[in-house]
Copies of this chain bind each other. A is one copy, B any other.
């Protein structure tokens, strides 16, 4: 018998109707693609799988991921587009053209009021090495792993101020009651 999920009020057993559904991506709006792409490609090692431009509506979408070792990303554009939408762990960045030139423009991070979205999270092989790498890149910390009540949990900010949690999976075993 395989793991069927922890049972809590509201939880139901999946049916065949949702077979093959896959959590593909999370979308965040960004002010300046040059800064956001520099951040996510350099600091978090992501690749731009695909940019989609919508001239009439004046926006561009950037789909980023960090392909695993051995995963083959298709070179051909249409195939790569379909591949992008069939993966897990993709980050979509939406750029409404011109926001990068508006000095006071900023997006809402979801943690200040009104609250909603909280953060995205990366797991890393070595939390201390990751923190040193963030320091080497002048990344802004919300908290370090040795600060606050949640030990071993790091939060940094991306180029737009969105929070990114950073954890080392094997150090999360004892979390929670």
Let me know if A149 and B57 touch, CB within 8 A: yes
User: How many of these chains are in the complex?
Assistant: 2
Tell me the A48-70 residues at the B interface (CB within 8 Å). 48-57, 61-62, 65-66, 68
The CA of A67 and the CA of B34, in the complex, are separated in Å by 35
The CA of A80 and the CA of B32, in the complex, are separated in Å by 38
Tally A residues with Cβ within 8 Å of B: 107
Expressed in whole angstroms, the minimum distance between the Cβ of A144 and any Cβ of chain B is 17
Tell me, yes or no, whether A98 is within 8 Å of chain B by CB.
Answer: no
Let me know if B28 and A43 touch, CB within 8 A: no
Expressed in whole angstroms, the minimum distance between the Cβ of A112 and any Cβ of chain B is 9
Let me know if A123 and B85 touch, CB within 8 A: yes
Expressed in whole angstroms, the minimum distance between the Cβ of A107 and any Cβ of chain B is 4
Q: Which positions in A face B, CB cutoff 8 Å?
A: 2-15, 17-29, 33-38, 41-57, 61-62, 65-66, 68, 72-75, 78-86, 88-92, 94, 107-110, 114-125, 129-130, 133, 136, 149, 160, 162, 165, 167, 169-170, 172-177
Q: Can you list 6 A-B contacts (CB < 8 A)?
A: A15-B45, A21-B123, A23-B120, A25-B120, A81-B176, A85-B172
Known: A18-B133, A82-B170, A85-B167. Is A12-B41 also a contact (CB below 8 A)? yes
- Shortest beta-carbon contacts, A-B, top 4: A52-B176, A18-B45, A5-B47, A88-B89
Let me know if B89 and A118 touch, CB within 8 A: no
Let me know if B115 and A167 touch, CB within 8 A: no
The CA of A164 and the CA of B79, in the complex, are separated in Å by 24
* Pick from B10, B18, B50, B115: contact of A36, CB under 8 Å: B10
A120 proximity list for chain B (CB < 8 A): 23, 25-27
